[in-house]
A and B are shown apart, each in its own frame.
Chain A
Amino acid sequence: MHAALTIARRELDAYFVSPIAYLVTAAFLVISGFFFSIFLISAQQQPNNDITQVMQGLFNNINVILLFIAPLLTMRLLADEQRSGTIEVLLTSPVRDWEVVLGKFLAALALFLVMLLLTLLYPLFIWRMGGNPDWGPIFGGYLGLTLLAAATLSIGTLASALTENQIVAAVIAFAILLVLWLIGAAGTVWTGAAEVFRALSILERSDNFARGVINLEDIVYYLSLIIGTLFITTRILETRRYS
């Protein structure tokens, strides 16, 4: 575990030395800031000017942004190590394979959480202006986003283990996420398995949190997705060791 944290810290350093982390963060904040301010301002014209719903609208849109930035944040993680050959050094060092995977994943998650943390300025602004939102659903929304981010980033990590090419890794991650995003719609074609498709869909789950209802089922789904994906990633690395 200690080794995983060391790897995570080293990876995080790498993120923040390069301009990429700052650019991605800035772009993320432009988009989410745009949604937040537009929702807040347009709520002024509505009879039901509810700032809790403003935040809900924001969460539902950050969900979509995640679909696009998760592949960007994770594409380099393992693909680059494989391209440059440094993965050999890592894998032959006394560090266990799962610690490498976990460390890389935690670094990407930490970067996203920094980005998410900056969006806390929005509810802080509401509060400073004298607004009194229902904090429960806002807390739920942030919890849901954290879980969804962890799930999408773990899939990005998996994709990055599959190839040496960063672009290919990003494309694979995006494709998997898109399938998981839209799989609920498959239920409309194969109605018999609608329940199964619905259960697999990453999208169906995320709405509940922002509405302020936390189902144990949803938490277990995200945790399973994260653990399962990281497990597969570890097996892939292991297999690669002997190739």
Chain B
Amino acid sequence: MQSGRNILNQAGQVVGKRQVRFGTNAIIMTVAFIAILVLINILVARTTVRWDLTATGEFSLSPETIAILEDLEQPVEIIGFFNQAQQQAAQDELRSRLESYAARTDLISFEFVDPDVNPTLAQSYNVAEYGTVVVESQGRQQQTVTTDEQALTRAILRVTQETPPTVYFLTGHDERSPDNLNERTGYGTLGRILEEDGFVVETLNLVVSDTIPLESSVLVVADPQLELPEREQEIIAGYIDQGGSLLLLGNPFTPAMLPEVLEQVGLAWNDDLLADQQLFFQQPLIPIVNNYPFSPITSGLTDPALFPTVRTLTQTETLSGTTVTELLSSSPDIQIATSLEGDVQENLEDVPGPRSFGYSVEITAADDATASAAGARMVVIGDADFAGNEWLLATSANRDLARNAVGWLMTQTEEFTLPPRTDPVDRSLVLTGSQGNLVFLGSTVGLPLLVIVVGVVVWWQRR
């Protein structure tokens, strides 16, 4: 630097102009000054000093999250897979949230990866969607595409808590098996997907074991070919009474599963086979659903879902303290068969539609009559084939319906839920039509005109 400056100084003297020398000094000073400013910015950028001005503390972590972060004992790594070109805003929002997580503990680290730039990394984590966040700790991982505080903290808790969230598949009655990857009816593919979602997938035989673990668990009963023994039905009913989570997948013309558990929430299986005649090109015995209700289980579903051979369900009564949401229903133009004997097509008879074959159930208040504890959740679907190896990946809706159902059921048996961040103050302003006109004319014409008038007056006086 010094010698370079000398050369320039000499050059300046040679040319004989002070300007060159002075210009050189100015450049050196400017470069040094800017370097200092850049350094200050880099140092400050490493800190997370921020003030949250929102009334609800939207940008501050909840006490629940802070407690979980402070209790962390093992490192947690978070990777956001975002498309840099199109998801800048979403990524920035997540980054700012993760910065406040990392500010609480040294054990959290995070990075962002563009799956298009680094496809191998995205593949090794089985990331299928842009905007996926992978939370990983000591070999356990969780994925989430929701990036609010609730989802992030839950994912951190799931990979670090002692009991990992576990999906139990009931066995012993010829059910669908999560280990069966080969047969078309097997549930091996579903098992894989649930494992990718960070769940432990296990089979549960109630002949061997007397209880179903309550904490962080979901019980799946998928298409048993034999009727469940009384004792096992009681164990499952007891699990629900304690606030458990149950996924029931039933097929036509098999023993009706857990009729008493369903009766308690006002649902019943019908002994039938549904044929949906709505669409010309459609195989009637494979009903297609492409209208979904507003529900956390069906949110994000856009493709049509396919259900090969469906038995319908009926809501027999509406019980207080129990929220039953219809998830899946047929078109109005349907037929049903009540017997499998002979040719099914000939057994079909016209019935008034639509009929339902999927419900989600949430017991919101403990009811003495049913003895069910508040918090229990159930998803009941009159088809088990849609989640089998052959059909699960046929459309994204089949896959997402199954994984969302398990995800929704799992959140209930976990201890962590954040209170909703609602603003107690009404932030709305209702204007009448004339008030609307007033504000429009006042702000676009009145106020600017006033400024012009003032200008003219000032100009007049100064003239």
Contact = CB atoms under 8 A, between A and B. Distances in A.
A184 to B, nearest CB: 7
A27 interface: yes
B59 A40 contact: no
Contacts of B48: 215
B51 A17 contact: no
Most A CB within 10 A of own CB, among B50, B88, B445, B451: B451
Contact of A239 (B23, B38, B51, B444): B23
B449 interface: yes
B449 A26 contact: yes
A68 interface: no
Given A33-B444, A188-B84, A204-B92, A140 B429 contact: no
B46 to A, nearest CB: 9
B29 interface: yes
A215 to B, nearest CB: 5
A61 interface: no
Nearest to A30: B448
Contacts of A27: 448
A213 B169 CA distance: 46
Contact of A134 (B37, B423, B448): B423
A85 interface: no
Interface in B36-95: 37-38, 40-41, 44-45, 47-56, 58-59, 84-85, 88, 92
B182 interface: no
B42 to A, nearest CB: 9
B14 interface: no
Interface in B77-122: 84-85, 88, 92, 96, 114, 117
Given A41-B439, A213-B59, A30 B51 contact: no
Interface string A120-142: 01100110011111101101100
B341 interface: no
A10 interface: no
B184 interface: no
A214 B49 CA distance: 9
Nearest to A51: B429
Contacts of B33: 228, 231
Contacts of A89: none
A214 B50 contact: yes
Interface in B333-380: none
A214 B448 CA distance: 31
Given A215-B49, A220-B41, A239-B23, A25 B451 contact: yes
B52 A212 contact: yes
A194 interface: yes
Interface string A140-175: 100000000000000000000000000000000000
Contact of A213 (B22, B96, B451): B96
Interface in A82-130: 118, 121-122, 125-126, 129-130
B19 A30 contact: no
Contacts of B38: 224
Contact of B427 (A133, A213, A231): A133
Interface residues of A, number: 68
Contacts of A130: 429
Contacts of B455: 19, 21-23, 26
A2 to B, nearest CB: 24
Contacts of B444: 30, 33-34, 37
Contacts of B427: 49-52, 131-134
B447 A238 contact: no
A236 B19 CA distance: 11
Interface stretch (B197-205, B245-253, B283-291, B430-438): B430-438
B123 to A, nearest CB: 18
Contacts of B45: 199, 217
B302 interface: no
Given A25-B451, A49-B429, A126-B429, A136 B436 contact: no
Contacts of A33: 442-444, 447-448
- Can you list the 10 inter-chain pairs with the closest CB atoms, starting with the nearest? A22-B455, A136-B53, A33-B443, A131-B429, A216-B49, A49-B428, A26-B448, A212-B54, A188-B85, A37-B440
24 contacts: A22-B456, A25-B451, A26-B449, A34-B443, A36-B439, A37-B444, A40-B431, A43-B428, A43-B429, A49-B427, A51-B429, A125-B442, A131-B427, A131-B429, A136-B52, A136-B53, A137-B54, A199-B45, A212-B53, A216-B50, A220-B40, A221-B41, A224-B38, A235-B29
Interface of B: 18-19, 22-23, 26, 29-30, 33-34, 37-38, 40-41, 44-45, 47-56, 58-59, 84-85, 88, 92, 96, 114, 117, 423, 425-431, 435-436, 439-440, 442-445, 447-449, 451-452, 454-456, 458-459, 462
